[in-house]
Amino acid sequence: MFKDKNIIVGVTGGIAAYKAADLVSRLKKEKANVEVIMTENATKFVSPLTFQTLALNPVYVDMFKEPRNYDVEHISLAEKADVFLIAPATANIIGKIANGIADDLLTTTIMATRAKVIFAPAMNTNMYLNPIVQKNIEYLKKLGYEFIDPAVGMLACQTYGPGRMAEPADIVQYLKNSFYSKDLIGMKFIVTAGPTIEPIDPVRYVTNHSSGKMGYKIAEEGQKRGAEVILISGPTNLKPPEGVQLIRVNTTLDMFNAVKEYFDRCHALIKAAAPLDYKPEVVSDVKIKKKNIENDELNIKYIRNPDIAAYFGKIKKDQIVVGFAAETNDLIENAKEKLINKNLDFIVANDVSKDGAGFKEDTNVVTIIDREGIITDYPIMDKSEVAKIIIDKVKKLIEDKS
């Protein structure tokens, strides 16, 4: 993800400095070039050797040390940075930068950079809530500096409250989001995901194997690139992507009604959900009991649910409607038929019986068929890569219409 990116990590003198080692290691795993600048005080908590070993680069501390090369370090690091991350950020460094103080290598380099600077504060709760610290944070935010809020929890100083540095995994995720190009600002997408469930009686229901992973990845891709995303999801165990508007539904009719509420105001409906086509005609309001008779049977009559893709495909005006065809046989014929009958803009077909393409997999093997009848086969891919292809295609179709 961070290939060819220069990330400068500033480490300051807080107990969370040890977590910065994990952070640097994660950034390296994502292929970033990481350069670490430590304050003198930070070296009292963790040795520069730790960071040097993890970053595979020299660690900078002293501004007046013999130059290792002919660059002036605070200028060369400031210029090469794609992003500056101060983690952990002490109350001291926040105060210094807010007040224009540049009295060591880290503060001087931050002052000299035009790159984005992101602080991950970590400190005792009283320090964090101190109005002076809060005023400094607000002031820096106004100037365009970014902050990854600390978590609430038990701190090293045995107090409970806000002040614990955000987890390294969350900091890496924040950086990933900030590197995304925001090419979908102003667009509004509805993404449906997951299965639906249809009750039989108060304790039983029917459903299918859909995990929701594909739809959640599509919602995440759209949101990261600046679109407003409404994710209408059947029951899943997935963590919803940050920043999307999540609407949870149970039945196919619930999903249909939720889409109906937002459809007029959206640019695209991406229907990655697997809603149940049928539902029991009668839902018993008491638990159905088995009978003590020989050859006891239970017959449930199923009736049709609304066809969400077909309904919105037919009534759409300028919206792009994307369908999915999860099939186990005659994939292309079935998908083509759906594309035409439901008046979709394109359809993403996958044979769920293939290796690497099932509902619960993290990968998918898809074929995209568009209105012009062009059929494109894709190799096995991570669902996030498939999501990117789908979102790129949706974006192009929206732009072609405007």
Residues that bind ligand FMN (CB under 6 A): 12-16, 39, 41-42, 90-93, 122-123, 127
Q: In angstroms, what is the minimal distance from the CB of 132 to ligand FMN?
A: 12
Cα separation, 78 vs 305, in Å, equals 60
- Is-contact 38 11, C-beta < 8 A? yes
| 229 three-class SS | strand
Q: Which residues pair with 347 in a beta bridge?
A: 323, 369
Query: What does DSSP say about strands 83-89 and 363-364: parallel, antiparallel, or unpaired?
Result: unpaired
Residue 42 vs 187, nearer CB to ligand FMN: 42
Q: Is 382 annotated as a binding residue?
A: no
Give the integer Cα–Cα distance in Å for 375 and 358: 21
CA distance 227 to 12: 36
Q: Give the nearer residue to ligand FMN in terms of CB position, either 1 or 154.
A: 154
Closest to ligand FMN by CB, 6 or 41: 41
The distance from CA 318 to its chain's CA centroid, rounded to whole angstroms, is 27
Q: Which residue in 350, 349, 348, 343 sits closest to 320, CA to CA?
A: 343
**Shortest Cβ 162–ligand FMN spacing (Å):** 12
Amino acid, single-letter form, for residue 271: K
Cβ distance to ligand FMN smaller for residue 39 or 251: 39
Q: What is the Cα–Cα distance from 345 to 269, expressed in whole angstroms? A: 10
**Distant-in-sequence, close-in-space partners of 109: CB < 8 Å, separation ≥ 6:** 8, 10, 37, 73, 74, 77, 78, 84
Q: How many CB atoms lie under 10 A from the CB of residue 221?
A: 26
The least CB distance from residue 23 to ligand FMN, in Å, is 15
Question: According to the annotation, is 338 in a ligand binding site?
Answer: yes
**Which tokens belong to 18?**
């040890």
C-beta of 63 vs 332, nearer to ligand FMN: 63
Distance of alpha carbon 169 from the chain centroid: 12
CB of 10 to ligand FMN, least distance (A): 9
Pairing mode of beta strands 188-193, 228-233: parallel
Query: Using CA atoms, how far apart are residues 190 and 258, in angstroms rounded to an integer?
Result: 10
Q: Is 342 annotated as a binding residue?
A: yes
Residue 287, marked binder: yes
Q: Which is nearer to ligand FMN, 37 or 258 (CB)?
A: 37
324 annotated binding-site participant: yes
How far is the C-alpha of 220 from the C-alpha of 388, rounded, in Å?
10
Q: How far is the CB of 77 from ligand FMN (least distance, A)?
A: 17
Active site residues: 157
Longest dimension (CA), the chain: 93
Minimum CB–partner distance for residue 166 and ligand FMN (Å): 13
Binding residues: 277, 287, 324, 338, 342
Binding residues for CTP: 277, 287, 324, 338, 342
